[in-house]
Amino acid sequence: MGLWSGRSGAAKVDLYTRGSVYAIHWGAVLCVVLVAAALLVSAAGRPLLVSAVLLLALVNGVLCHRLARTAIEAYLGRRAYPGRLLALCAAATAGLAAPVVAAGTTVPEGLLPLLLGCCLAPLSGGHCLLPRARTVALHQVLALVVLAAVLPGAGYGAGDAVAVAVTVGLITGWLAVTVRVSLWVLAVMWKLHAARDVEARLAVAEERLRFGRDLHDVLGRNLAVIALKSELAVELAHRGRPEAADQMTEVQRIARESQREVREVVRGYRDADLRAELDGASSVLAAAGIGCTVLTAPHRGAVPRAHGGGRELSALDAAVQSALGWVVREAATNILRHGDARHCTISVGLVEGSAVLTVENDGAGARAAAPVGPGSGLAGLRERLAAVGGSLEAGPLGGDRFRVAARVPLPGPEDPGAGGAGTAAPSAGSGPVPRPPGPRRAPGEHRSAPGREPLRTGTEPKEPA
């Protein structure tokens, strides 16, 4: 009982199917043994011939049991084709059928078809799993033709011989179909079980990739800033400047912030906030000596739509803000790591029913002239944007400028009372778009051009976390 209850559902089906095949196999062997023993006890036939049938039935049963077990494994794709064993079992079956046929009329009337069918059944149960179905049917037809041809030599008429051959064919054919269909069901079940295991492993691998991508996005920029500020602190210390201590204090703060973010990634709860990432990128780039302007301003070429009207960036869905926030983070990291940028512009807004974010920087140099490779950072961004139906474009603009542009379609129409005329944002290759009415600018913010309003100049210090 413990052997059954300790198995999984698939293992129980496997055990039941194999047990059924073996039960049919040994049931046929037992039938031959009982008939031979009955004839031997009653002395109705020749004792030596009946004894040979009894012995050969047991030998054939053992060999065909081994064939059935190997054939099941071969059908499931776990063993090679047992050609030699199949030939040996075929010879043993022929050796068993020969004395049964030779007994002729000594076998009780009507019992010969059953006896011959039980003699051929053990071989049929294993043979039906090895060749193709058409080949199995052809082999069985040939065996029945041979049987019908030799029966008249044992004293049976032509009509009786054909009747016996047809009856034996029905027995062995039913057995072959039953065993093959049962093993087909078992094979399908094991394939589904294997597919479920593969799905589980893929889910684990996907989670590992997500975790690695999150760590790359979280630590990439912060480690670049730590390295930059550490170098600056070393230079200041060599010159005897007191600002070196301030730089190291900032390194300590960023390290602690990175530690907190890594904990959040491990817990799986971290989502990038768009406005926080804009402020963070502006502050980090300014600390590296790179001028950064963040804009939400009108896009002249945009065709406003009613469902985008009046929507504030802060009112975007959390998933959209998170995806765009990761774009800002990765773009800022790439600006710090690659090239020699002096200024960058981050434009964000709404245009034609989509949230659009572009990051442009100068100083790309050789990177702008070379084709953009499938780096892990950009690949991770494309995966994040694809999850919300968005897209990402990254490449040189000409000269030493480089642009990263992300577009995410908005989920659906706005509430009719939510706004008026459409608000637009920059597309990849266009200027910024009008910003909806919002709070007054904080001190230190200014308009860099008519119709453009920076959210932050990037020159004011970021508040401690």
Instruction: List the CATH number of the domain containing 295.
Output: 3.30.565.10
How far CA 268 is from CA of 140, 330, 388, 462, in Å, comes to: 62, 19, 18, 26
| Domain membership flag for residue 84 | yes
| Domain membership flag for residue 143 | yes
Q: Do 174 and 306 have their domain in common? A: no
| Parallel, antiparallel or unpaired: strands 391-398 and 354-361 | unpaired
Task: Please count the structural domains in the chain.
Answer: 2
| Domain membership flag for residue 213 | no
Helix (H, G, I), strand (E, B) or coil at 449: strand
Q: Do 140 and 20 have their domain in common? A: yes
Q: According to the model, what pLDDT value does residue 123 have?
A: 94
Beta bridge partner(s), residue 292: 344
| Domain membership flag for residue 110 | yes
Q: Do 173 and 52 have their domain in common? A: yes
Secondary structure of 367-394 in HEC code, one letter for each residue: HHHCCCCCCHHHHHHHHHHHHCCCEEEE
Q: According to the model, what pLDDT value does residue 339 have?
A: 67
Q: Do 169 and 299 have their domain in common? A: no
Model-wide pTM > 0.75: no
Q: In terms of residue numbers, what domain contains 190?
A: 2-200
Q: Where are the alpha helices (DSSP H) in 76-157?
A: 83-103, 112-127, 133-150
Sign for the pseudo-dihedral over CA of 416, 417, 421, 425:
negative
| Domain membership flag for residue 464 | no
Q: Do 445 and 348 have their domain in common? A: yes
- Of 171, 200, 229, the one marking the end of a domain is 200
| Domain membership flag for residue 309 | yes
* Closest by CA position to 218, among listed 279, 275, 280: 280
Q: Do 310 and 425 have their domain in common? A: yes
Q: Do 179 and 291 have their domain in common? A: no
Quick one: 366 exposed, middle or buried, by C-beta within 10 A (0-12, 13-18, 19+)? exposed
Give mean pLDDT in consecutive 10-residue pieces for the chain, a chain of 465 residues: 72 92 93 85 72 90 95 92 93 90 71 89 93 92 90 81 90 93 93 81 76 79 86 88 88 87 68 79 81 69 35 69 87 81 89 88 66 60 87 86 90 46 37 39 38 39 38
- In whole angstroms, what separates CA 362 from the centre of its chain? 40
- Of 152, 176, 200, the one marking the end of a domain is 200
- Of 141, 175, 200, the one marking the end of a domain is 200
Q: Do 304 and 190 have their domain in common? A: no
Q: According to the model, what pLDDT value does residue 314 have?
A: 61
